Amino acid sequence: MPSHRPGLYIHIPFCTRKCLYCGFYSVPSPSHGLVSAWLSSLKHEVLHYRHSFAAFDTLYLGGGTPTCLPSEILSDLMEWVLKHLPFSSDSQFFIEANPGDLTKEKIEAIKAMGFNRINVGIQSFCDPELKFLGRRHDATEAVLALQRLKDACVESIGIDLIYGLPEQSMDEWLRTLESTISFRPEHISCYELTYEKGTPMWEMKKQKEIRPIDEDTERDFFLMTDRFLEEHGYIHYEISNFAKEKRFISRHNIKYWQHVPYLGLGPAAHSFCGSRRWWNVRDIKTYCKLLEQGKVPVEGSEVLTDEQILMEYVFLGLRTVKGIDIKRIADIPGATETIYRLEQQGFFNIKNGTAIPTLKGFLMADTLSSILLT
């Protein structure tokens, strides 16, 4: 459920190996030395923010692949964080996990550290697709990992999927969705494959080694995903996110879409508070060096004007079923009339002064934001 209390994000910049599509900052198979240097720097960074934020009610350990680190390191980190940063009693603790790492022992260790929400990077239940994406696990491992999580009675299991791969058929995607719901996960994220600049996948597209699916197919995938998951009782609450029930809507992620403060720690992490956004240096060595020198590892920051805040409010509002409060856009020239016109065209439902994007609206969210804002 939404809250206005801040969230904490910690970026784990390591993984066993890089997936071909991944544009996040991470160092594959790090040396022991690098991991300990990072941990000690991160501890320093935690101390920097000791008194800056009110009690957090979420913690999200993302990456990279947090579970590729040994449990001792993870629990060392968690102990430190919980000791030095304030958390409210009902806090939710999220961790991203690779199915290949989820042994019974690992799951128990993670639970013992306090994590009650585990998001598993399943991506697909189809081996050739997993291979294409450059994942290190296969479908069998994925199934095993999910069964173990079920057996361990984790409070909330999240499954992350990727669709829209070149040459992927709708049937193949539906099979992945069917396998997914057979575990009745509390949360499902379905991301269309994006070609991020600088990744091998982007390069393959550029060299025309692979041919991305066309826009009509993208549309069919998107609509089919929505239809399938809604039929199975899931709430499509954000463009790429579904929850089994309202209470399983990701309390952490919605902070990003509602300008709720969040603190991001670790290389390349972004933070937001009030009207200020800042981001850490990407390079892990620079990150460690700055912290060793007693400095914050911030690379840049921006202070948003009211106009910019409003702009973000609109395009973020277009992404979730929370929608846009029409009163708030009164000052954008033409926006109010436009939003009523777009309602007529089926892109919004307007209830009690709030414009909530329809499925058609989700599908065209970027165009809608251009229409309303430019």
Pair 276, 302: CB distance under 8 Å: yes
Query: Residue 356: phi, psi to the nearest 5?
Result: -105, 125
Of the chain, the end-to-end C-alpha distance in Å amounts to: 32
Distances, alpha carbon 341 to alpha carbons 137, 323, 332, 336, 346, in Å: 48, 16, 15, 9, 9
Smallest gap, in angstroms, from Cβ of residue 107 to another protein?
26
Answer yes or no whether residue 194 interacts with another protein by CB under 8 A: yes
For residues 111 and 277, which CB has a smaller minimum distance to another protein in the complex?
277
Smallest gap, in angstroms, from Cβ of residue 270 to another protein?
3
Answer yes or no whether residue 215 interacts with another protein by CB under 8 A: yes
Answer yes or no whether residue 374 interacts with another protein by CB under 8 A: yes
Give yes or no for a cis peptide into 233 (omega within 30° of 0): no
Answer yes or no whether residue 148 interacts with another protein by CB under 8 A: no
Taking CB under 8 A as the criterion, the residue among 40, 140, 147, 308 binding another protein is: 308
Beta bridge partners of 96: 119
Query: Residue 183: phi, psi to the nearest 5?
Result: -95, 0
For residues 74 and 193, which CB has a smaller minimum distance to another protein in the complex?
193
Taking CB under 8 A as the criterion, the residue among 219, 227, 295, 327 binding another protein is: 219
Pair 163, 173: CB distance under 8 Å: yes
What token pair was written down for 205? 């597209």
Pair 104, 154: CB distance under 8 Å: no
Taking CB under 8 A as the criterion, the residue among 44, 232, 315, 338 binding another protein is: 315
What token pair was written down for 348? 């919004």
Which of 131, 250, 133, 122 shows the shortest CA–CA distance to 190? Answer: 122
Cβ count near 153 (within 10 Å): 7
Answer yes or no whether residue 240 interacts with another protein by CB under 8 A: yes
For residues 120 and 363, which CB has a smaller minimum distance to another protein in the complex?
363
Smallest gap, in angstroms, from Cβ of residue 219 to another protein?
4
Cβ count near 189 (within 10 Å): 19
**In 3-state terms, what secondary structure has residue 56?**
strand
Smallest gap, in angstroms, from Cβ of residue 151 to another protein?
31
For residues 143 and 373, which CB has a smaller minimum distance to another protein in the complex?
373
Smallest gap, in angstroms, from Cβ of residue 77 to another protein?
20
Give the contact letters, 271-290, x = binds to another protein (CB under 8 A), - = no. Answer: xx----x-x-----------
Answer yes or no whether residue 311 interacts with another protein by CB under 8 A: yes
Binding-site ranges for another protein (CB under 8 A): 9, 191-194, 215-216, 218-219, 222, 239-240, 253, 256-257, 262, 264, 268-272, 277, 279, 302, 308, 311-312, 315-316, 319, 345, 362-367, 369-371, 373-374
